[in-house]
Structure 1
Amino acid sequence: MDVLDVYALETVNMLPVKASEIQKETSKDVDLLKIVQALEKGTDLEKLGLQNHEFTLSHGILLRKDRVVIPEALRDRVLKELHAGHIGIVRMKGLGRNYVWWRGMDRDIENAVQSCKECSRFQNNPRPVPLHHCEPTVEPFQRIHIDFAGPFLGHNFLVCVDSHTKWPEVFVMNNITATSTIEKCREIFSRFGIPQMLVTDNGRTFIAQEFQEFVKANGVIHKRSVPYRPATNGLAERFVQTLKQALRKTNLTKNNVEMLYKNFCFAIVLPRHQS
């Protein structure tokens, strides 16, 4: 098996359809069959409105560069998987472009999101104009924003978002005491380093003496949002709302909560950090 075969197999294994299904449906797809026949005969793909160097054929499966070309009969299943976390159009396009391609894929993604009943049901009201903007950061983990989501369907979540990279960290919390929160902050700091500034709201956890002593001992500047205006901690607030929306649209239980929120975070960060 050559390098191309191995890469194609690894990519297909990430999809909700089997390689045998892609091979079978490709052979029956009128439009894709034209590409296959052109590649097999070595004829010009530009006549089909395509670039010659972009397409390859591996055991009956078409690849456009490093993306699997999906036959029309299988596209709904792929779209359903891409939208499993009920992410928005931009993130769904970013995720899809890492693995698959077909003509009009962007349009199909837009239609899938706009026609999703669950997404329409939980659509946020228009956001108010931000009260103020924090100074831009120049390096990762210079400033982080943390907040709690919950209690939500019986679960509390601690959300941490890096201001510079927008990288999220989410933890399921048994409680939201200062002690438990400090424990998770230590875990975050041990992996990413101690931030210069920590932004929170005025929740009792964050104003507790124990938490105040923790941030002070680590030399972290603790900035709290304006009282009665939690939206001033906008970065964390927005991610909390996005997380809540995604989890509302899933069948959240005690047994699958960790898997669901990790899948959501994966869908959020992959398009942003893939290179």
Structure 2
Amino acid sequence: MESKIEDIVNMCAPCQATRHESAHAPVHWWETTKNPWSRLHVDFAGPFQGKIFFIVVDSFSKWLEVFLVKSTSSQSAIKPLRSLFATHELPDERVSDNGTAFTSDELKTFMQDNLNRHIRCAPFHPSSKGQAERMAQTTKDFLKKTPEWQDIDLRLSRFLFNRHITPHTSTGRSPAELMFKIQLKTFFDKIHSYELPTAKHEIGREKSFNDGDPVWVRNYSTGPKWVPAKINSRNGPISYAVELDDDERIIKRHLDQIRIRHVAEGVMT
């Protein structure tokens, strides 16, 4: 009886047309890329908050790029891709769905000219689009948490910077480290590592002065080109306040405008 029921249901057109989806197939794991910028996953996202975004993800490093675009046309994909190719290099593969922009002759010609292979995903099947789909959702989730009155470019820049410096769960390393083999400096890195830089002599030795050191300083008023003075204080990375010997005035001079003055047995040389 069960077999007969199955046969009847299989022959019933309305039943077949309205049945639930079949069990999901096992998730397709993309072949692991061995180098940065080899395989790119691309997708459009939106309209969201009245904006359309073009998403590009490097499968190796998880480096993310998000562009504000006017439409989902081929040109809206070609323009940011051309900019990225000029910055990073030509990739080997591009993964996208079968959207009109990605299958157009215009984009196909552009990719062929750049020797880039196109891998297509199944339509209406977000999971097969992989990383671009997930990053598009991550981008939208972030924008939802920020006030819409803020400038969209500012919000995207902050989001992308945080993504680039944060270790990814699948790699354990930041996208910047895998992409460029460097750690991007953050605001806190610059605070902790800040030191006053020192200038160099022409012969390569560090040039700096201590308070009270006798020096020659460049004179820009009447009289000699160089006049005697002494260091009063350092007031910047490469500038000093100096006290003139003749009238005890304190003036400011750049490091390049100060020379060592040797004093021996009370005679200046």
TM-score of the aligned structures, taking structure 1 as reference length? 0.51
4+ residue stretches of structure 1 with deviation over 2 A? Answer: 128-131
Q: RCO higher in 1 or 2 (8 Å CA, sep ≥ 6)?
A: 1
How many angstroms does 1:257 deviate by?
A: 0.3
Give the AA of the match of 1:263.
R
The amino acid across from 1:190 in the alignment is A
Task: For residue 167 of structure 1, report the CA deviation from its aligned partner.
Answer: 0.5
1:251 matched residue in structure 2:
147
**Alpha-carbon distance in structure 2 between the residues aligned to 1:213 and 1:206:** 11
Between the aligned partners of 1:222 and 1:176, the Cα distance in structure 2 is 18
Compute the displacement of 1:130 (Å): 6.4
Per the alignment, in what secondary structure is the counterpart of residue 166 of structure 1? coil
**1:57-206, aligned counterparts within 5 Å?**
131-206=27-102
The one-letter amino acid of 1:257's match is I
Task: Tell me what 1:239 maps to.
Answer: 135
Higher strand share: 2
- AA partner of residue 152 (structure 1): F
Runs of 5+ consecutive residues of structure 2 not aligned to the other structure: 1-23, 167-173, 178-182, 185-269
- Give the letter aligned to residue 92 of structure 2: Q
Q: Which structure is higher in helix share?
A: 1
Given the alignment, which residue of 224, 240, 243 partners 2:120?
224
The structural deviation recorded for 1:252 is: 2.1
Task: Quote the sequence identity (%).
Answer: 36
Structure 2 distance, partners of 1:162, 1:152, is: 23
CA contact (8 A) 1:130 1:231 kept: no
* Partner residue, 2:203: none
Q: Retained in 2: the 8 A contact 1:201–1:225?
A: yes
Residue 243 of structure 1 deviates from its aligned partner by 0.5
CA distance in 2, matches of 1:236, 1:251: 24
- What is the alpha-carbon root mean square deviation over aligned residues? 1.7
Query: How many residue pairs align between the two structures?
Result: 147
Query: What is the TM-score normalised by the length of structure 2?
Result: 0.52
One-letter amino acid of the counterpart of residue 48, structure 2: F
